Structure 1
Amino acid sequence: MADAVQGSNHSTDEPSLTELIERSSELKGQLVAFAQSPRFDRWLTPVQLEAAGPERHLDEGEAVRSMDRFILRHRLPDGSTVVDRFVAGRRDLTAVDQEMLLGWREPVEGIFEMQRKEGDAVVLLNLVDDLVYRAYSNVGRAAFRGVSRGGFLHTCLVPVHSADGAWLVSGAMARYPRSSATKIARAALGLATSRPELVFRNPEKIEQGWQRMREDRAAFI
């Protein structure tokens, strides 16, 4: 099993992890307000309608998830994202702000097993890419209340690029008890099958894929 948790070594003039997380909360609020402005209506509305499905019902969790996907991953006609445009239009952002915001364009979606809590953080095993992440929430440890060791979370994580190995929960977070393990395993397999790029964040999985292809080719020949 590979590990996405690393140590950090920063100079004293860089913001602390606590300061970065607090700043992330401010920036995320501003980013959401920016995405909800009329300039993006023509692109946001179809995304929300698709998320609502034929029943045209969008619960709070899915509304948050669809907004998060739109902000971080949706490609506008010129190829940019909402984050790109936000950063380009804000001359008041520091280099650290820009680094953090642009890092959010590479979210990690997954189904995570709670391994343990460490202060304000939780250590999560992603059942999709088999990597371990140390995750925080910009609303504090209260976000993880009710999630015990062996339980599961379905959410997205974004990196705090100036703090090695630190990740932030982004968007909605669905919680499941340990007793849901069978159901969760099927959901993780479905996610990995439908979106293999999530699996191949892990270099070991890439090598396993190539090895399987070599074996299949040898068997065919």
Structure 2
Amino acid sequence: MEIEALMEQATKLKETLVEYATSPGFARLLSQAMASTSRLESGQQGHWAEAVEALLYEPGTGREPLLDRYLRTNRNIAPEDRLVYEGWRDRNVYGAFRVDKRRGAGLALYNLIDEMDYPTYATVGAEAMGAVPRGGYIVTRLVPMGDIWTISGNIRIFGPKDLPAVRALAVSLLEHFPSLVYRNPARAESARTLVRKHHAIFVKRFGSHVVRGTGAEAIAAYRGFLDACSAELAPGDPAAAGLVRSGEQLAPDESFPPELARSEDVALYHHPVKSVSFLVAYGQVEDAHRTPPTDADDPIAVLVREFVEDSTIPPYVLGDLAARYPDTVDAVYRTALSLPEFSWKRDGEDLLRRHKPDGFRDTDLPGITQVPALLMDEYLQRGQ
């Protein structure tokens, strides 16, 4: 298909999505998105467009992206259009891009976050793209159309001298969406390798992937783990050696919620892909798997329900406990959920998917942030 035809198709499909996202049934969601998205350098119309984009492509609390919902609930989408929409759902890229070349409506873009090139054409045409300077920068979302990309939604335009501001925006995006960097397969595999090494260090140091204790003890264990990682990995990586900081520097007191440090029951948990989690009340939930409660009103049963319903607790935490206590897991959930026929083997995954849908997305992507060299100084300054 010629580029002009691809752009016409993209325009038509995007108009349909915008009509869907701005229909009366989603008015409250759009108002909330307007309140939560950034207004920086975008103006009122640009801010509205950013809110629509966020609704379409980004999950919210207890809400799937509207593009996912549109595909799931609309059976009348033409097969060729559904294929394009699925590409937009799975491969859209929000980033800060350097404009290496501009010819008419065509742009050669380099993403400062994932360090990849994107041959891009704008549906708005060559004249409208005249404001985008070569050597300058844009912050926007791209979606695929065949072998090329097109711009979806609002564009923030910056000149060549605005690199410091663009770096700051790119780091803000990376802090909110760490997986953006993993659009780059080499980056993703490098991070997976690093987390596997961290996991081996963690297990070697503590004898398990879980360390139970008080909040203060968990924080101290985490800092010791960071020191162990630096001691073991930095000597083999000269580039990283100059960036080594102590565990206390990397994890100062103010980086932890006060209630975490005061808690009497905290687990430091390391996953071989997703890295580190701090889990309050984990010890009591593990004890419930050892000795299941017999009453749904028992405080331990209540804690189990809270772990299930808390979307911030990864599903693999409960899956791991179920695997470690196969003889008692059914009894735990039968009591805690008041479901006498509950079977973890049969019902466990559906239970977790219902309460923790986000935990089943991007399960192969590492849970650490890898920062490109161009953004490292800005990122480190944020942490100081």
TM-score of the aligned structures, taking structure 1 as reference length: 0.77
Partner of residue 249, structure 2: none
Partner of residue 71, structure 1: 56
Matched residue count: 198
Q: 4+ residue runs of structure 1 moved beyond 6 angstroms? A: none
Residue from 152, 156, 164 that aligns with 2:137 = 152
Pairing 1:189–2:159 present: no
Matches within 5 A, 1:97-176: 97-106=81-90, 107-160=92-145, 163-164=146-147, 166-176=148-158
1:188, distance to aligned residue in structure 2 (A): 2.1
1:182, distance to aligned residue in structure 2 (A): 2.4
Distance in 2 (alpha carbons) for counterparts of 1:149 and 1:28: 27
Residues 1:42 and 1:17: Cα distance change in structure 2 (over 3 Å):
same
**Aligned residue type for 2:18:** V
> More displaced, 113-122 or 40-49?
40-49
Distance in 2 (alpha carbons) for counterparts of 1:71 and 1:218: 40
User: Identity rate of aligned residues, in percent?
Assistant: 28
Distance in 2 (alpha carbons) for counterparts of 1:207 and 1:52: 32
Residues 1:126 and 1:67: Cα distance change in structure 2 (over 3 Å):
same
**Aligned residue type for 2:188:** I
1:150, distance to aligned residue in structure 2 (A): 0.9
Unaligned runs of 5+ in 2: 199-227, 234-384
The alignment partner of 2:37 has SS state of helix
- Listed one character per residue, the Cα deviations across residues 168-194 of structure 1 (whole Å, up to 9, x for unaligned) are 101100110001122222332332233
Distance in 2 (alpha carbons) for counterparts of 1:203 and 1:126: 14
Residues 1:126 and 1:180: Cα distance change in structure 2 (over 3 Å):
same
Partner of residue 177, structure 1: 159
* Bigger RCO (CA 8 Å, 6+ sep): 1
**Aligned residue type for 2:27:** D
Larger radius of gyration between Structure 1 and Structure 2: 2
The alignment partner of 2:166 has SS state of helix
CA contact (8 A) 2:104 2:129 kept: no
Partner of residue 4, structure 1: none
Partner of residue 39, structure 1: 25
Partner of residue 11, structure 1: none
Distance in 1 (alpha carbons) for counterparts of 2:38 and 2:142: 23
Partner of residue 11, structure 2: 25
- Listed one character per residue, the Cα deviations across residues 52-107 of structure 1 (whole Å, up to 9, x for unaligned) are 79xxxx72212111111102223585x6432244344262x332211112222232
1:204, distance to aligned residue in structure 2 (A): 1.9
Matches within 5 A, 1:79-90: 80-87=64-71, 88-89=73-74
Residue from 177, 183, 186 that aligns with 1:201 = 183
**Aligned residue type for 1:103:** G
CA contact (8 A) 1:71 1:83 kept: yes
**Aligned residue type for 2:98:** E
TM-score of the aligned structures, taking structure 2 as reference length: 0.46
> More displaced, 118-127 or 200-209?
200-209
**Aligned residue type for 2:74:** G
**Aligned residue type for 2:184:** N
Residues 1:76 and 1:24: Cα distance change in structure 2 (over 3 Å):
farther
Unaligned runs of 5+ in 1: 1-14
CA contact (8 A) 1:43 1:76 kept: no
Residues 1:153 and 1:218: Cα distance change in structure 2 (over 3 Å):
closer
Distance in 2 (alpha carbons) for counterparts of 1:218 and 1:34: 50
Partner of residue 2, structure 2: 16
1:210, distance to aligned residue in structure 2 (A): 4.5
Residues 1:22 and 1:76: Cα distance change in structure 2 (over 3 Å):
farther
- Listed one character per residue, the Cα deviations across residues 17-60 of structure 1 (whole Å, up to 9, x for unaligned) are 3212101111211221122112222433322232379xxxx722
